[in-house]
């Protein structure tokens, strides 16, 4: 009895000991910084950046509301809501575009003979070798007024004057879809690769149409991959900074740019911290949705 208790205790100790490095790393590099951000969001802004150690909820208040510059009436912050709305809308659009382009691509790769797949996957990962900034500027070169596309369209007589594509929401969308496409292809590919194609054959044998087979057999089984891909694209899109700044020409901000501004020219760190936490909360909502979806699948 005593020996057994002893054994259980030493077992618990060992488990704690083994978990200690992970717990330490998570506490030091994930929880503590987050705590700092939370604390800063409840302080008053310092005169020239930084914070003053004085409790204030002004930062959180300013996330959604503003006092009119003119008469101090409190209204919903039109600027912040517009930026928030744009961030969510552009991120959703990016996710849809990468889905439309990424799923067929992943399907194509997964259905090649095993030896060819490695080559196609290699092509998908090549852009990762290049810096994000360089890739974004390459896209800019494609769509600017004197760029590849405009010159092509002009030379075949499709248009008479260059189309202004740069510095628009369209440009931001093109940039983000290009940059995040591999993040969609890879998890979807992993899911399709594991798919047992004999199941599809079995459904055909049972007189399922191609569409029915896709809907009832293939999609449910590759869904986790599609959801994982969507999360991987949606989350970084929401916080994107470089792409909107370069492709959007600084004219229409996204959340990432708004946050950066508070720590720079805006000199309002508490608002920046509160906005960052708002972004984190949005990501959390997306992740909860993800767990719900995948858990639902297991139960069903």
Partner 1 sequence: MQRLTLTTALVTLALPAWAEGTLNIYNFGLYTPPDLIAKFEKAYDVSVTLTEYDSNETAIAKIEAGGHGFDIVVPSAAVVPIYIEKGLLLKSDPNTMENFKHLAPDWVDVSWDPGRSYTVPYVWGTTGVMVNTDIYKGDINTSDIFLNPPEELKGKINVVPAMNDVIDMAIWSVGGESCTTDREVLKAARDKLVAAKPFWASIDYASFEKFINEDLQASVFWSGAAMRIRAENPGFAYGYPKEGFSLWQDNVAILADAQNMDNAKLFLNFIMDPENAALISTYTGYGNSIQGSEAFMSADLLAAPEMTIPEAAKAVGHFQQTCPPEIQDLYSRIWTDLTK
Coil vs helix vs strand at 204 = helix
Residue 169 sits in the site that holds partner 1 (CB under 8 A):
no
Stretch that binds partner 1, among 125-133, 152-160, 225-233, 250-258 (CB under 8 A): 250-258
Phi, psi (deg, nearest 5) at residue 63: -60, -45
Which of residues 40, 41, 43, 83 is near partner 1 by CB under 8 A? 83
Piece in contact with partner 1 (CB under 8 A), picked from 89-97, 205-213, 260-268, 291-299:
260-268
CB atoms within 10 A of CB 129: 6
Fill in the per-residue mask, 30 to 69: x = in contact with partner 1 (CB under 8 A), - = not in contact: ---------------x-xxxx---------------x--x
Pair 176, 235: CB distance under 8 Å = no
Buried b (16+ CB within 10 A) or exposed e, 34-65: eeebeebbbbbbeeeeebeeeeeeebbbbbee
Task: Report 229-248 residues binding partner 1 (CB under 8 A).
Answer: 245
* Residue 111 near partner 1 by CB under 8 A: no
Residue 151 CB, shortest distance to partner 1, in Å, is 13
Q: Does 167 bind partner 1 (CB under 8 A)?
A: yes
**Number of residues binding to partner 1, judged by CB under 8 A:** 35
* H runs (alpha helix) in the chain: 2-26, 32-41, 58-64, 78-110, 114-125, 132-143, 148-155, 169-194, 197-205, 210-213, 219-238, 242-247, 255-263, 269-299
* The one among 5, 55, 146, 296 contacting partner 1 by CB under 8 A: 146
C-alpha angle with apex 287: 284 to 290, nearest 5 degrees?
Answer: 155
CB of 292 vs partner 1, minimal distance in Å? 33
d(CA 138, CA 130): 11
Q: Please, which residue, 117 or 245, has the CB nearer to partner 1?
A: 245
Contact residues: partner 1, CB under 8 A? 45, 47-50, 66, 69-70, 78-80, 82-83, 144-146, 164, 166-167, 245, 249-253, 257-258, 261-268
């Amino acid at each position: 009895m005593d020996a057994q208790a002893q054994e259980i205790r030493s077992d618990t100790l060992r488990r704690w000991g083994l978990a200690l490095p992970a717990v330490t790393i998570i506490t030091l590099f994930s929880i503590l910084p987050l705590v700092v951000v939370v604390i800063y969001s409840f302080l008053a802004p310092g005169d020239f950046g930084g914070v003053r150690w004085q409790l204030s909820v002004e930062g959180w208040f300013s996330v959604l509301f503003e006092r009119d510059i003119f008469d101090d009436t409190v209204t919903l912050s039109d600027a912040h809501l517009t930026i928030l709305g744009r961030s969510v809308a552009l991120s959703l659009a990016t996710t849809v575009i990468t889905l439309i382009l990424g799923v067929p691509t992943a399907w194509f790769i997964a259905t090649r003979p095993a030896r060819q797949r490695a080559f196609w996957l290699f092509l998908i990962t090549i852009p990762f070798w290049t810096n994000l900034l360089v890739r974004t500027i390459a896209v800019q070169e494609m769509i600017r007024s004197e760029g590849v596309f405009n010159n092509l369209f002009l030379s075949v007589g499709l248009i008479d004057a260059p189309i202004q594509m740069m510095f628009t929401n369209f440009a931001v969308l093109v940039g983000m879809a290009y940059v995040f496409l591999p993040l969609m292809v890879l998890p979807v590919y992993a899911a399709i690769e594991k798919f047992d194609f004999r199941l599809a054959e079995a459904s055909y044998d049972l007189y399922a149409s191609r569409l029915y087979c896709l809907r009832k057999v293939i999609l449910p089984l590759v869904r986790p991959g599609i959801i994982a891909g969507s999360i991987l694209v949606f989350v970084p899109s929401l916080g994107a900074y470089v792409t909107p700044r370069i492709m959007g020409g600084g004219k229409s901000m996204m959340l990432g740019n708004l946050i950066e501004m508070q720590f720079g020219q805006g000199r309002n760190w508490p608002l920046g911290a509160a906005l960052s936490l708002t972004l984190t909360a949005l990501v959390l909502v997306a992740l909860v949705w993800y767990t719900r979806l995948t858990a639902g699948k297991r139960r069903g």
